[in-house]
Homo-oligomer: A and B are copies of this chain.
């Protein structure tokens, strides 16, 4: 029934959509980009944010919806900037994070994505996480957000020094989306 279904992806960030679409196409899954800011609540958990947002968009479109939200969680900063990563990028930017971490040895951080899929039958959450390190300089021009200061474990490159395909072998968002695809390919058949 869902075989040729299109899933609407709500994001005002074209980069995010491209990262997901690259993987979706390889699995014959059709995504449609809805260029809208997702309505986000203030919550410390990404899961709560995407669940709320997806339910609102489902009530508008009445068709399958995918909403994702990601955050960078820095251990020494008690999880800052967390769910407020976009706002902190716009205000403090990479150099603000480096200033907050200056003189601090523990540079451990992780990126996390929560993804909510909703249709007329189910609401399901998928999550992905990548551990890594905040380096002390800004490197690379690919990607977005705090990609230029984050090196995932197992690499020497920042996310901003990787092309989409390479980033997707490490990334939190790709990990969450892979879990979704595994589910969805069985679900729709």
Which residue of A44, A79, A100 has the most chain B CB atoms within 10 A of its CB atom?
A100
Chain A: interface residue count, which band?
20 to 34
Binds B, one of A90-98, A120-128, A139-147, A157-165: A90-98
The copy count of this chain in the complex is 2
CB pair A88 B80 closer than 8 Å: yes
Residues of B within 8 A of A87 (CB): 42, 44, 80, 82-84
Residues of B within 8 A of A80 (CB): 87-88, 91-92, 96
A22 to chain B, nearest CB (A): 27
Q: A176 CB to closest chain B CB, in angstroms? A: 20
Pairwise interchain contact B41-A41, C-beta atoms closer than 8 A: yes
Binding site for B on A (CB under 8 A): 39-42, 44, 49, 77-84, 87-88, 90-92, 96, 99-100, 102
Known: A39-B41, A82-B91. 8 other contacts (CB 8 A): A40-B42, A42-B49, A42-B83, A79-B91, A80-B87, A80-B91, A80-B92, A99-B99
